A and B are shown apart, each in its own frame.
Chain A
Amino acid sequence: MIKPRSIPSTPILASALAALLAAFCAIFPAAAQTAREAQEQAAFRAAVERVAPSVVQIETIGGLERMGKVLFGTGPTTGLIVEADGHIVSSAFGFANQPTSILVRLPEGTRRPATLVATDHNRKLVLLKIEVDKPLPVPAFAPLDQMRVGQWAIAVGRAFDHQRPNMAVGILSAFSRIWGKAIQTDAAVSPNNYGGPLVDICGRVLGVLVPMSPESDEELSGVEWYDSGIGFAIDGQHIRKILPRWKQGDLRPGLVGLGFTSKSLQTGEPVVGGCRPNSPAAKAGLQKGDRIVEVEGRRIERAAEVKEEISRRYAGDTVALVVLRGDKRLGATMELAAELQPLRHAFLGVLPMRQPEARPGVRVRYVYPDSPAAKAGIQPGDRLRAFQKQPITDRQQLRSLVGGLQPGETAELQFEHNGRIRTRKVTLAALPEGLPPADLPAAYDASRDGAPAVKSGAVPLKVPEWPNEAMAYVPKHNPAVGCGVVVWLQPPGPFDWDALLARWQPLCDAAGLILVAPKPADPNRWSPQEAVFVRKLLDLVDATYSVDSARVVVHGHEGGGTLASLVALKNPDAVAALAAVEAPLLGRPPENESDRRLAIYLAWAEKSPRASGLKTWVDRLRKMAIPATTKRLGPEPRALDDAELAELVRWIDMLDRI
C-alpha cells in the first residue's frame, strides 16, 4: 500500500557530494558523525518551528474528576489547526471528563472559547471550532506515499507552555496499527502531546497523537502506555479526507453483527459463524458457513482482515463483500450500523426433567404460567417431540433450537400429551425475570435411576500458583445428569466453612448443586486479580466433575458480590448467572450471544447506599436484553435469610429453562 519514496535529485551534483562526503568520512569518521548529528539537531528544530504556528494549547473548565479508577488530568492539552476558519483537531483523551467549557490558546497568547463540533469515536479524536478574525495557519501534511517506516518522526505538544512547543524525537515504527486505524512511533507520546501532531523531518504532519490500545476500544485505554516507546497517531491524510463529513456530526465505529467460526481472528479463517438477527450482516443475507473472500476489492484470507476492513470504516459506510457459499460466488453489501439491536433470547416456557431416559424427546418438569407453552396446552409430564419439524433429542438440543429464533417469532411444536401427539403453533416469548414459585417439582428422581451415584462430600480445592485456599461440597449425583455449580464469594470477615456447609448442604443435595467456596488471600477484602483465580477454580471443577453449564452461578455478598460481578461479566463462556447481594457491580456486561444466556439476580435494601447505582445497572442490563431479577431486602442492608436463600436456590434451579 505504501510505496517506497522516490527521491528526485540532480544526479551529478548528488554523486559528487556523496563522493566528497565518503572521502571525508573515511579520513575523519567521528568528526563526520558529529557534523551529521548537528545537522539532524538543526533539522528537528526547523521541523518543529515549521508546524508550531498550527499547534495550539487547549484548556478546559469543569468536568468530572475521575472515571472509574482513572483520575482525569486537568492540565492543558494540545490541538492541531486543520482549517484556516478555526477548525482544530485534538485527542478525545482531553475531553473524556466532559468539561463545561473549552478554551483554545493560540501561540501568540489569545484565548478563544471553543465549541466541540463532533467526536470521532472510532479514532478517539475531537473536532473543535473557534471564531477567528483572520485565517489560521494550516500545516502541511505529508503525502502517504512518502511515508516510510524508519524515518524520523517528531511528536509535538503544547502542554507545558502556550508560547513554546515541547518535542520528542523518534522514528515512524509501523503503519496500519489498531485494526488499520493508526500509525505507530517510538517517540515519547503522553498527555504532554496527545492531540498534537507527529511530524516528519520537514515539519509536515504525519498524524495526530492519541492514546490507543489494540486490546480495548474503551475511551481511556492506551494511556497506560504513555512514554513507553509505543505511541500512536491517526494518519493526517485520513483526517483531512474525513473532515467534511465529520463536521456534520459524530463519527462512530461501524458494527455488522457478524461472528466467525474460529475463536482466533488472527489465525482463523473468514468463515461466518453466525449473524445477529436484524444486524447489517443478517440484512445482507450472510449465512453461517459462508466464506468471505473479498471486502471492497481486497482479497481476504484471515478473519482479522475482515475485522480490519470494517474497523477502519464508520457507521453509515457501506461495505461490498464477496462470499463463497458452497461453490457459488455471491456479492453482498452491508451498511455498517452504529448500534446493534441486542440479541434477545427466545423462551418457550418450560423446565425440562433432567432424568436420563431412553425415550426420545424432552419430558416437561414445569410449565410457566401464561407462557407460550402454557397457551399451547402443555402440561407437566408431557413430552416435547419436535420443534420446527426437527425431532427433539435432549434438553441442550431443544434449548439451542429455540435459541435460533427470536421472541415474537412463531414456531411449530409437536408434543405428546397422555399418549397422544399434538401439534401447535407457539409464539415465542422473552426470557422471564420473575422470582421462582414457592414450590417446584423435582427435576430428577434418584429412586427411578439405576445408575451408580458419585461419592459426595466436602473436598479441598487447590489451583496451582495461587495462594488462595478453597473448599467444595459435592452432592451425591449421577454423572449422566450433571450438577449445577454455585461459587460463594464471602463478604469481608472470617471464613467459616462449617457454618457455610451447614447452611448449604441440604440445598445442594436437593437441587444437585456443587458449592465452591474460595477463601480471599486477605480476609478483609477481595482483590480484582482474584477474579482470575475464581475462573481457574471453575475450570478445575468443570474438569473434575460432571457440570451442567446452564446452572453455573457466581454468588457473593458485599465485596464478594462485586468480585462475583467481575467474574461473571468477564467469563460469559463459563458462567450462566450472577447473584449479587448488597454489592456494587464492576465490569462491562457482555453482549448476548445465541449460546450464552447470562442471567442476573440482584438483591438490595431500600436504604442501601448502592440502591441508585444498582437501579442504573438494572436499566443497563435490560437495555442489553440481559434478564435481571431484582429482590428487595426491606429497609436495612443485610445478608439473605434462610427463606431468601432457598428462593435463590430455586432461581438457580430454573436456569435451565427453555
Chain B
Amino acid sequence: MKHASIVSRMLVLPLVLWAGVALGNDAPRANAAGETIRRVQPKMVKVYGAGGFRGMEPYQSGLLISPEGHVLTTFSYVLDTDYITATLDDGRRLEAKLLGADPRLEIAVLKLDAEKLPAFDLGEAVEVEPGARVLAFSNLFGVAVGKEPLSVQHGIVSMTTDLAARRGVFETPYDGPVYVLDAMTNNPGAAGGALVTRDGRLVGLLGKELRNTRNHTWLNYAVPIAALRQSVEAIRAGRMVAQRDDAQKKPDRPLQLAIVGLVLVPDVLELTPPYVDLVYSGSPADRAGIRPDDLILLVGDRLVQSCKALREELEYIDFEDPIRLTLLRDQEMIEVELQARLD
C-alpha cells in the first residue's frame, strides 16, 4: 500500500505544482497569487544535511524568521550532522548552526551568518478557518536547487484537528493542533516549508510525512505558528524547552477486566469484537447490570473496536477510578457505570 500511494502521489505532483518560475516576470499583473509568491519566496530556504539513502532524503525546507538569519525548520535526521547548509532564494549557500530544538514539537531553529535578509515575523502569523485558501512553499522531492524558487502548491484548509485526540492514530511526538490540507503537501523534503494565506500571511509550518494508522492514508498538514511561537522564542533566547505532557500517562496499576468481574469472549481474531462471555455473580459488572453477549462499544467516550483495543484502553485507567461503559444489547445502547471494589 505504501508503494502504491507514493506512486500515486508522485504521479499527481506535476498537476498540482506551480513552478514559481512560471509566475516570474511574464506573469500577468492581475495574478494576486503570483504577487504573494514573489513576496514569499525570498523568505524561504533549502536546508541540506544528513541522509542520502532511500526514504531518507538529505534535504528539507525552512523559513527565515529574522533579518539576522534565524531559520525555523523541522527537527529531523537531516539536522543530525555537524555540517548543515541552507541555500537562500538568491542562490547563496551558507553554513547553518543548529541553535536549538524542541523534540516535542519537532521544530528546530538554525542560525545563518547573514544580515538584512527578508524574513517572516512570527508575531504577525495568522490563524485561519477550514475552507481558507492557502499556498504551501516547500522543496518537496528536492526539485528546486541553487537559486531556483521552492515549489508552490495551492489548496484549502480541509479542517483543523488535534493530533492528541487520536491516540495511536498518528505516530508522532507532536500532539497539538494541526491544519489538515487538501493538497499533497507532505512529501520528502517538504518538512519545514511554509503555509501562507493567498495574500502571503504566515499560517503554519509544514510537518513531516505522517501516516494515519487507522485508515492507511498520508496526512497532509501544517502546525499553526501560534503553537510554536513560545518554543521558538525560548530556543532563540537559549532556553531549551522541555515540557512534557503527562495527561496521557499510564497509571502504575491499571484497571483489569477481572477486577470488575468481566470475561470477554476468546480473542481469536485480529479484531475480535469485545463481546462479554461471562459475568461473575456479585461482581461490580454484575451489579451494574452487564450481561453475557453484551457488546462493549465505548469506554468513557472512546470507541473500542476489538478485545485488544479494550484491553489497551484500560491501561490508561487507574484501577480505583470509576468507568463508564456503553454496551450494545439487541441493537439497543445501554450505558453503565462501575467501579472496582476497594477492599
Contacts and interface: CB of A to CB of B under 8 A. Distances in A.
B333 A111 contact: yes
Chain A interface, DSSP helix/strand/loop, else mixed: mixed
B132 A41 contact: yes
A64 B271 contact: yes
Contact of B214 (A74, A101, A168): A74
A103 B273 CA distance: 13
A30 B333 contact: no
A192 B214 CA distance: 10
A260 to B, nearest CB: 32
B215 A70 contact: no
Chain B: number of interface residues, binned into ranges: 35 or more
Nearest to B298: A111
Given A71-B1, A111-B333, A228-B12, A48 B215 contact: no
A81 B1 CA distance: 31
B160 to A, nearest CB: 8
Interface in B87-101: none
A169 B154 CA distance: 10
B306 A227 contact: no
Given A30-B32, A169-B182, A75 B132 contact: no
Nearest to A130: B331
Interface string A5-31: 000000000000000000001000111
B11 interface: yes
Contacts of A315: none
A63 interface: yes
B1 to A, nearest CB: 6
B306 A115 contact: no
A335 B300 CA distance: 53
Instruction: Give the one of B32, B169, B297, B333 with max A CB within 10 A.
Output: B32
Contacts of B304: 61
B8 A227 contact: yes
A225 B212 CA distance: 16
Interface string A37-75: 100111011001000000000011111111001110111
A37 B32 contact: yes
Given A191-B217, A229-B15, 5 more contacts: A61-B306, A113-B328, A160-B161, A168-B182, A192-B158
Interface string B312-328: 00000000000000101
A51 B29 CA distance: 37
Given A30-B30, A111-B326, A192 B217 contact: yes
Contacts of B217: 190-192, 226-227
Given A37-B32, A188-B182, A112 B273 contact: no
Contacts of A229: 12, 15-16
A66 B271 CA distance: 10
B27 to A, nearest CB: 11
A199 to B, nearest CB: 12
A425 to B, nearest CB: 56
Given A45-B131, A101-B328, A227 B184 contact: yes
Chain A: number of interface residues, binned into ranges: 35 or more
Given A48-B131, A111-B298, A62 B30 contact: no
A192 B11 CA distance: 20
Contact of A226 (B5, B131, B333): B5
Contact of B216 (A29, A60, A62, A73): A73
A169 B156 contact: yes
A375 interface: no
Given A73-B214, A74-B305, A112 B333 contact: yes
Contacts of B220: 227
Interface string B29-42: 11110010000000
Contacts of A187: 182
Contacts of A69: 1
A100 interface: yes
B291 interface: no
A644 interface: no
Nearest to B307: A62
A45 B132 CA distance: 8
Contact of B8 (A64, A168, A224): A224
Interface of B: 1, 4-5, 8-9, 11-12, 15-16, 28-32, 35, 129-133, 155-156, 158-161, 165, 169, 180, 182-184, 198-199, 212, 214-218, 220, 269-274, 295, 297-298, 303-306, 326, 328, 331-333
A343 interface: no
Nearest to A161: B161
B333 A113 contact: yes
A111 B297 contact: yes
Contact of A101 (B11, B32, B156, B273): B273
Contacts of B274: 61
Contacts of A59: 303, 305
Contacts of B169: 75
Contacts of B182: 155, 167-169, 187-188
Contacts of B303: 59, 61, 103
A187 B12 CA distance: 12
Nearest to A168: B182
A627 interface: no
A165 interface: yes
B159 A34 contact: no
A347 to B, nearest CB: 44
B271 A63 contact: yes
Contacts of B29: 29-30
Given A228-B11, A229-B12, A60 B215 contact: no
Contacts of B155: 168-169
A239 interface: no
B273 A100 contact: yes
A33 interface: yes
Contacts of A103: 297, 303
A124 B332 CA distance: 28
Which 4 pairs show the lowest CB-CB distances between chains A and B? A75-B214, A62-B273, A29-B30, A73-B215
Interface in A118-165: 155, 159-161, 164-165
Nearest to A29: B30
A229 B271 CA distance: 33
A258 interface: no
Nearest to A169: B156
Given A44-B131, A73-B216, A166 B305 contact: no
B133 A37 contact: yes
Given A65-B271, A228-B12, A229-B15, A30 B35 contact: yes
A32 interface: yes
Contacts of A40: 133
Contact of A48 (B4, B130, B214): B130
Interface in A187-203: 187-188, 190-192
Nearest to A31: B32
Nearest to A131: B331
Contacts of B1: 69-71, 224
Instruction: Give the one of A64, A70, A160, A190 with max B CB within 10 A.
Output: A160
B198 A34 contact: yes
20 contacts: A25-B30, A30-B29, A30-B35, A34-B32, A34-B199, A40-B133, A41-B132, A41-B133, A44-B156, A45-B129, A60-B305, A62-B271, A75-B212, A113-B332, A115-B331, A155-B182, A159-B215, A164-B130, A192-B215, A227-B8
A190 B5 CA distance: 11
A66 to B, nearest CB: 8
Nearest to B165: A161
Nearest to A59: B303
Contacts of B15: 229
A113 B297 CA distance: 10
B297 A101 contact: yes
Contacts of A76: 214
Contacts of B133: 37, 40-41
Contacts of B218: 227
A530 B32 CA distance: 52
A61 B8 contact: no
Given A60-B305, A61-B295, A100-B295, A113 B331 contact: yes
Contacts of A70: 1
